[in-house]
Structure 1
Amino acid sequence: MAKHDRLLALMTLLRSKRYAVTASELAQTLSVSERTIYRDIKSLVHSGVPIAGEAGIGYVLERGSHLPPLMFNQQEMIALELGMRMVRSLSDKELAEASTTASAKIMSVLPDKLKKQIENFPMRVPDVHTKRLATKSAKILRHAINDQRKVQLTYTTEANEQTIRTIQPLGLIFWAHSWTLVSWCELRKGYRQFRLDRMDEILVLDERFEVSENKNLEHYIKTRAH
């Protein structure tokens, strides 16, 4: 990687973090040595980039600092557009509309050559959004997760039995064919997954809940990995 590209990648990494990042972590991400990171940090500081920190502790962009707009290469733009198409196809209507406007904003500032390459790249995502009734539930649940509000759920199990649960919604996961809600079930006193296409009724309650180190989406994913 050329030094100019590496410096841009380093600034992008620092801008994406809210906390100090060690030289070791930066070096691992960029596949260079820590010595190279120290030299690059020094070059950026000398050029006027407001980086705070020191060796052994970590580096962070100072608050209120502004950097030039990001420039994406062809492969990065294709990846972004493919992701946008997946959102439009598989997510709820609100996010699908947001991805459409976001994609239009990005495409509007691209040079014609890159715009044509993105429009014609040979990868397609089937437009199945309107056929997925479960995505209507996704918007309701997504807002309940953000607001940390409990949900009363009427649900049909695989055994075709209907159950009513009060749950604490923690996150949504897409498993190739269906969306599932990861939650803390107050009846079972533990994590439970519920498929969105088996939900018969969703009632968002006024009562709120708190997440903790042992009750959140990332903790759930880690427990499944062991």
Structure 2
Amino acid sequence: MHKSERLFQLVNILKSRRFAITANELANKLKISQRTIYRNIQHLQSSGVPVEGEAGTGYLIADYDLPPMMFTLEELQALLLGSKMVSAWTDPQLAASAQAAITKINAVLPEKLKQQVEELPYLVSTFSHDKAHQEITLQLRKAITNKTCIEFHYLDVNQQPSHRITDPLGLVYWGAKWTLIAYCQLRSDYREFRLDRIQSIVSLTNTFDTNPQKNLAHYIELVKAKYQTKSDDQCHQ
């Protein structure tokens, strides 16, 4: 670990504490010697970071705004890959924010890191995410955020049309297609709807509430339990 990374972690640990933490505890957390902790504390104090305390009693930090974060190459790659996925696969507003984030990251990268980041081995495809898809995603995201009911026309796997009014709970990307997870008012139960099969959509004026038995996290838990049961049954066959 580089010294700059260690100092950043040290500041983060101190900022997260309400009470003083000893040099021994810090040394154990960072897996370095107490002597190195003392040197790092002195370095932070001489740099103007308001670290309070002393050896034997412990240290804490007063209110302090951290300087810009220092990321490792893999952390930068993760951030840029995530931003590219958001830019390609979500709605126009989030895509614009993702592009702005990419621009800010690239603007402060040293030349050596820029070349390494440009060689990112992942390619984010945009082929199946056209403008119509993005507009539907935007409308759904706003409805989910505002807890607004939606009405839409839908084609099932057999191309049979249906009309639904639902409480939209979340958007899930399963690795191939985006899916709306919603509580269907007609069926009084969770339903999944592929976004590429939604023909038209209208946001209604009436709103809905979530509860422990109607929310995205509860739906995901049900899915996990379902597939765990299937896995257990296969193991016992």
TM-score band by shorter chain is 0.7 to 0.9
Tell me, in whole angstroms, the C-alpha distance in 2 between the residues paired with 1:163 and 1:67: 53
Query: What's 2:114 paired with?
Result: 115
Shift of 1:134: 2.6
Task: Please report the RMSD computed on the Cα atoms of aligned residues, expressed in angstroms.
Answer: 3.4
Shift of 1:150: 0.6
Secondary structure at the aligned position of 1:181 is classed as strand
Residues 85, 208 of structure 1: CA spacing in aligned structure 2 closer, same or farther, 3 A cutoff? Answer: same
Residues 79, 13 of structure 1: CA spacing in aligned structure 2 closer, same or farther, 3 A cutoff? Answer: farther
Which of the residues 50, 58, 81 maps onto 1:48?
50
TM-score, L = length of structure 2: 0.70
Shift of 1:10: 6.5
Q: Which runs of 5+ in 1 are unaligned?
A: 21-32, 51-60
Query: What's 1:102 paired with?
Result: 101
Tell me, in whole angstroms, the C-alpha distance in 2 between the residues paired with 1:150 and 1:144: 7
Q: Which runs of 5+ in 2 are unaligned?
A: 19-24, 53-60, 226-237
1:54-105 per-position Cα deviation (integer Å, ceiling 9, x unaligned): xxxxxxx98x752222111111111111112222222222222221111001
Aligned-residue sequence identity (percent) comes to: 35
Q: Which has the larger radius of gyration?
A: 2
Tell me, in whole angstroms, the C-alpha distance in 2 between the residues paired with 1:182 and 1:129: 20
Tell me, in whole angstroms, the C-alpha distance in 1 between the residues paired with 2:26 and 2:167: 43
Query: What's 2:203 paired with?
Result: 204
Query: What's 1:8 paired with?
Result: 8
Say if 1:167 and 1:184, in contact at 8 Å, map to a contact too.
Answer: yes
Query: What's 2:235 paired with?
Result: none
**Aligned ranges 1:110-149 → 2 under 5 Å:** 110-128=109-127, 131=130, 133-149=132-148
Query: What's 1:91 paired with?
Result: 90
Secondary structure at the aligned position of 1:136 is classed as helix
Query: What's 1:36 paired with?
Result: 28
Tell me, in whole angstroms, the C-alpha distance in 2 between the residues paired with 1:221 and 1:49: 43
Residues 89, 151 of structure 1: CA spacing in aligned structure 2 closer, same or farther, 3 A cutoff? Answer: same
Shift of 1:159: 2.5
Q: Which amino acid in the other structure matches residue 121 of structure 1?
A: L
Residues 10, 156 of structure 1: CA spacing in aligned structure 2 closer, same or farther, 3 A cutoff? Answer: farther
Counting matched residue pairs gives 200
1:140-183 per-position Cα deviation (integer Å, ceiling 9, x unaligned): 00011111101112111123221111111110011222110011
Query: What's 1:56 paired with?
Result: none
Secondary structure at the aligned position of 2:205 is classed as strand
